[in-house]
Amino acid sequence: MRKTGKDLTSNDGRITSHLLGILNLIVKLLKLKITPVFIFDGKPPEIKKNTLKKRYDSKKLAEEKLENEELTDEQKITYFMQSTRITSEIIDDTKELLDTCGIPYIQAPEEADPQCVCLLENKLIYAVATEDMDLLTFKCERLLKNFFSNKDEEIIEINYNKMIEGLNLDNNQFLDLCILLGCDYLPTLQGLGLVKSYNYIKKYKSIENILELKDGKNSIITPEEYNYNEVRDYFKKSSSTCIIPKEEDLKIKKNSNENDKIYNFLVTKCNFNIFKYNTFISAKNNFFIE
């Protein structure tokens, strides 16, 4: 929704790009008889602070570059996309949209990733749709890629059990491989690419054994703070803080007199046109038709 290099806004200046994007997605899913469950990130773990600092600095740099009046239109769009921040107002507005439209969501206590996997493990959802491969490190049983693509791309389903069987790794070895390749909580290691990391895990079985290599060219240089054990424990135990909702809480809700509330939010407050409102109401009504 931001590929024009600017945000959509309501008449009073409220940013609505994210709301229109999510509304369009919901309509698409309801037409397909799919119930979406949105998961919001909670407080990030302490081990993610370095990654968050890098992301903040990157967005700050993009904001500074946007001030250059000699940028091309293409450069403006690029830096605008890179500088976009998810504010508390954006989160609150999104939750209000979902509440108004009767769409289920969960506020995760910590990261959204383990919360998604927790729902999957408890058979409360069918799959997790994401482009973030970190979900597999949490043992995400079924992951869908390209689900949100606007291009004519085939949706790819990744089955965790089939994947590690094909890689000929067990759960612990796959987790160590992911950590070696870099994640939100640790950087990649110098001199270890995808193929070399995989071959080392196959041969030496664990990060401990790999880091003990001291034979010249096979030695691995680690940063001063490379707390892989802490990160490994987080991946294994993060589900302990997750919410397990009732199945009823994850169903789409249809309340009496809800159309007026939806109209007031979409048309009056967000200033979306009546076509968007009618399209959503039609899709939701169709969802409940057997």
Query: What is the predicted pLDDT for the residue at 3?
Result: 59
Q: Would you state the pLDDT for residue 5?
A: 57
**Mean pLDDT of the 117-139 span:** 95
For residue 172, pLDDT beyond 90: yes
* Residues 2-21: tens digit of each pLDDT: 555 567 889 998 889 899 99
pLDDT at 215 over 60: no
| pLDDT tier at 240, thresholds 50, 70, 90 | confident
What lies within 8 Å, CB to CB, of 197 at 6+ separation is 177, 180, 181
Residue 213 has pLDDT above 80, yes or no: no
Query: Under 8 Å CB-to-CB from 289, ≥6 apart: which residues?
Result: none
Mean pLDDT of the chain: 88
Q: Does pLDDT of 39 surpass 60?
A: yes
The whole-number average pLDDT for the span 121-132 is 95
pLDDT at position 1 over 60? no
Mean pLDDT value across residues 217-223: 66
pLDDT at 259 over 60: yes
Give the model's pLDDT for residue 203.
93
Q: ∠ at Cα 245 (30, 118), nearest 5°?
A: 90
Q: Do residues 1 and 254 make contact, with C-beta atoms less than 8 angstroms apart?
A: no
Q: What is the pLDDT of residues 57-74, one digit of tens each?
A: 787 787 778 778 777 877
Judge whether 158 and 117 are in contact, CB under 8 Å: no
pLDDT, position 264? 96
pLDDT for residue 24: 94
- Which domains, and CATH codes, for the chain? 169-237 (1.10.150.20)
How many CB atoms neighbour CB 271 within 10 A?
14
Residue 217 has a pLDDT of 59
Residue 228 confidence (pLDDT) above 80? yes
Distances (CA, A) of 248 to 38, 245, 288, 289: 15, 8, 15, 18
How far apart CA 113 and CA 140 sit, in angstroms, is 9
Q: What is the pTM of this model?
A: 0.85
For residue 16, which of 2, 3, 27, 36 has the smallest C-alpha distance? 2
pLDDT score, position 250: 97
Rounded to whole angstroms, how far apart are CA atoms 97 and 18? 10
Q: What is the pLDDT of residue 265?
A: 96
Confidence (pLDDT) at 42: 93
What dihedral do alpha carbons 16, 22, 24, 27 form, nearest 10°? -140
pLDDT (tens digit per residue) in 98-116: 999 999 999 999 999 999 9
The segment with the largest mean pLDDT, out of 149-158, 197-206, 210-219, is 197-206
Residue 119: predicted pLDDT: 97
